[in-house]
Amino acid sequence: MDRTVTLSGVVTAAFAGMQGFFLQDPAGDGRAETSDGIFVFGVSTNLPLPSSLVRVTGRVIEFARAGYAGSVTEIDLRNGGSFEVIGSSPLPQAVILNPLSSEPAALEPFEGMLAAYPASVAVSPSTRFGEYFAVRWDRLPATVRLFPWTRPDVVPLMIDQSGGAFRKEVQVFDLVPDLVGVLHFDFGSFRLEPVADYDVRDAGFRPTAATAVSAGSPGQLLRVAFLNCQRVVWQLPAVALERKLEKLALAIRDHLRLPEIVAVAEVEDQQLLEALGARAGPYQAVLLKGCDFSNINVGVLYRQDRLRKLGEFQLQAEAPEFRNGACTLPDGRAFRQFLYDRPPLLVDFAWGEMLLTVIVNHWRSRIGGNEAERIASAEYLSSEIQRLGRENLIVLGDFNDTEDSPSLLILSDRTGMANLTWSVPEMNRYSFVFGGISQVLDHIFVSPALLGMVRWSGIAHFNADFPASLADRGGTALRVSDHDAPYIVLQ
């Protein structure tokens, strides 16, 4: 590595947005364990056309993106490198991709090569960068939705449309035809960059809303939901912020059906939460700011026609082994080392004659690990629940952990609270899609005293399966966030 070489090959694809092109040995070296292709970086104008035979002189580097595992071998043309077109050549035959493992070694022999991916089904929606995951049609299990427990030989492949002109809006279950592209490695994973246009067929998947409950008078029912609002912050442009608030309000009305309590995450301050509540219906807002560097906090919207708020406060603990930083909470407490960026918010309500307590959570992200911190969060929260002794308690939020994770099992075991995620049918048990895998990160726990009052629990699916581009459109309650919304109905 880090040496200058001169080599020739045929251009299989060129992307101005990626500042380079892919070069492949048309004859190959005859070794199945090594790749015949490479990415040439450092040129964004006058790129060579596909099928051009090109001679390249440049420095061999191993490019590793900060914060992501793995690297990609490249020819770097910056600082004196060059290329020249010396002729033309037919494109090499595309290798057929059939990954049986998510480990990089399964695809590394094809890095930088022209590759084909047979007809597939999307198992995640397209992101704002144009990325989505798909699984070969002939590799699918009985269902096309992939869960953490799905058989290990069903491995999704990322289709990355960010480098080229062929960008499609994709939702889960959409049918994708045979694709031809180049296999690239970036941001810690292999991805296929399509080199030709293609048509995605809408498979007709539609959102599901909170279950309608018609029996019983309205005064006998209490509906509680949680919604990660995905960055409702003043930093957004004014038009985008207004559209975000209107779409969230529409989702609360149409998909969650105006529950009595809507716990939220990722809202910057009380003023913004009040603005959301005013647009959604007869809601009052409760939000106390925390320590998050990006100014996102947890809060509660509640229907003042059905509930009376008695009080609120935050829960926070010092944890020097996890964080070093200064934070002053709204009640004046100062922490130099703290456990939560977004301290759990406890709100006491009167529902008729009953005292009801809600604790809203947004634990540390799974990005970069942080499992030890989430376990510490569960241990501290469990001890506070036991100390406070609230009988009618709902604990909910974005815990950034699945239902079978150590942190959530600790919370259940030490408090006796039931995680109602387990009562949701398996095929509907997800609130987030990552890497093509559907999983639950958002949960609702209830205390033993309330468990017998739970008439229904579920997850309203109107976000996680749909393309991120929908979030930029008005007039629809689809894709207002990247998380779906769990809910319960008490009677």
What whole-number percentage of the chain has pLDDT above 70?
Answer: 97
Look at residue 372 in the predicted model and tell me its pLDDT.
92
Mean pLDDT value of segment 209-214 = 82
Look at residue 149 in the predicted model and tell me its pLDDT.
86
- Out of 280-294, 313-327, 387-401, the most confident range is 387-401
Look at residue 69 in the predicted model and tell me its pLDDT.
87
3-state secondary structure of 155: coil
Q: Distance between CA 435 and CA 415 in Å, rounded?
A: 33
The pTM assigned to this predicted structure is: 0.94
Mean pLDDT value of segment 407-434 = 97
Whether residue 438 has pLDDT greater than 60: yes
Comparing 389 with 291, the larger pLDDT belongs to: 389
Mean pLDDT value of segment 20-34 = 92
Look at residue 325 in the predicted model and tell me its pLDDT.
67
Look at residue 217 in the predicted model and tell me its pLDDT.
58
Mean pLDDT value of segment 342-360 = 97
Mean pLDDT of all residues in the chain? 93
- Model confidence at 143, pLDDT cuts 50, 70, 90, reads low
Mean pLDDT value of segment 217-227 = 87
Whether residue 215 has pLDDT greater than 60: no
User: What are the beta bridge partners of residue 193?
Assistant: 182
Comparing 214 with 216, the larger pLDDT belongs to: 214
Comparing 319 with 462, the larger pLDDT belongs to: 462
Whether residue 374 has pLDDT greater than 60: yes
Mean pLDDT value of segment 284-291 = 95
Which helix (H) or strand (E) segment holds residue 40: the answer is strand 37-41
Look at residue 220 in the predicted model and tell me its pLDDT.
86
Comparing 370 with 438, the larger pLDDT belongs to: 438
Q: How many Cα atoms sit within 13 Å of 51 on the Cβ side?
A: 4
Whether residue 406 has pLDDT greater than 60: yes
Look at residue 142 in the predicted model and tell me its pLDDT.
60
Whether residue 216 has pLDDT greater than 60: no
Mean pLDDT value of segment 225-234 = 98
CB 391 within 8 A of CB 449: yes
- Model confidence at 402, pLDDT cuts 50, 70, 90, reads very high
Whether residue 110 has pLDDT greater than 70: yes
- Out of 67-71, 289-293, 401-405, 469-473, the most confident range is 401-405
Structural domains of the chain ordered from first start: 4-88 (2.40.50), 95-194 (2.40.50), 218-490 (3.60.10.10)
What whole-number percentage of the chain has pLDDT above 90?
Answer: 80
Please write the tens of the pLDDT for every residue from 144-198: 899 998 877 788 999 998 776 788 999 999 999 999 999 999 999 999 999 999 9
Whether residue 318 has pLDDT greater than 90: no
- Backbone conformation region of residue 376, classed left if phi is above 0, alpha if psi is from -120 to 50, else beta: alpha
Whether residue 133 has pLDDT greater than 70: yes
Look at residue 90 in the predicted model and tell me its pLDDT.
95
Look at residue 139 in the predicted model and tell me its pLDDT.
81
- Model confidence at 293, pLDDT cuts 50, 70, 90, reads confident
Look at residue 1 in the predicted model and tell me its pLDDT.
65
Mean pLDDT value of segment 293-297 = 93
3-state secondary structure of 246: helix
Comparing 338 with 260, the larger pLDDT belongs to: 260
Comparing 293 with 368, the larger pLDDT belongs to: 293
Tokens of 391: 């009988």
Phi/psi for 188 (5° steps) reads 85, 10
Question: DSSP string spanning 352-389?
Answer: TTEEEEEEEEEPPPSTT--HHHHHHHHHHHHHHHHHH-
3-state secondary structure of 458: strand
CB 63 within 8 A of CB 72: yes
Tokens of 53: 């035979």
Q: Which residues of 260-269 are buried (b: 16+ CB within 10 A; e: fewer)?
A: bbbbbbbbbb
Look at residue 96 in the predicted model and tell me its pLDDT.
96
Whether residue 303 has pLDDT greater than 60: yes
